[in-house]
Amino acid sequence: MKLKVKLFATLRQYAPAEAREGEFALDVPQKSVTVEEVLRLCGLPEHAVTVVMVNGMVAAANAVIEEDAEVSIFPPLAGG
């Protein structure tokens, strides 16, 4: 299945060359996948990620992601 992945801030350095503004399609061989597995497939070091949102909702590491979902991945960040 295919997922839309978006990387933000310092994580953009891990995006593949063809990505635009940190966004790319991820091909996943199996039919379902967890957040944790997506991070691994994207080659993201675990400690570099704090928030993962699936279709705008914060998702835990073991959450299962459905086909065509939009997965947004953020490093530690803040502001005000």
Partner 1 sequence: MGGWQGRVLRLDLESGEAVEEPLPPAVAEKFLGGRGFGVYWLARQPVAAPLGPDNLLVLAAGPLTGTRAPTAGRVTAVTRSPLTGTICDSSAGGAFGARLKRCGYDALLVRGRASEPVYLVITPGRVEWRQAGSLWGQDVPAVFRTLRPLAGRSASILAIGPAGENGVLFAGAVVDGRRHLGRGGLGAVMGAKRLKAIIVAGDRPVHLADRHAFDFVCYEITKLLEANPITAQALPLFGTAVLVNLLNQARSFPTCNFRTSYFPAAEAIAGERLRAAFTVGRTACYACPIGCGRVVSLAGSRVAGPEYESIWALGANLGIADLATVIRANLLCNRYGLDTISTGGTLACAMELSARGLLPWELRFGDGDAVLALIPQIARREGPGAELADGARALAERYGAPEVAMQAKGLELPAYDPRGMQGQGLGFATSNRGGCHLRGNMLGPEILGAPKMVDRLQAEGKAGLLIYLQHNHAALDSLVLCKFTGFALREEHYARLLRAATGGDWRAQDLQRVGERIWNLERLYNLQAGFGPADDRLPRRLLEEPAEGRPVELAAMLREYYRFRRWGPDGRPAPTKLAELELGDFL
End-to-end CA distance of the chain: 38
Applying CB under 8 A, which residues contact partner 1? 6, 8-10, 12, 21-22, 50-51, 53, 56, 58, 72, 74-80
Q: What is the rounded distance in angstroms from the CA atom of residue 25 to the CA atom of residue 80?
A: 31
CB of 52 to partner 1, least distance (A): 10
CB of 56 to partner 1, least distance (A): 5
Q: Which is nearer to partner 1, 6 or 33 (CB)?
A: 6
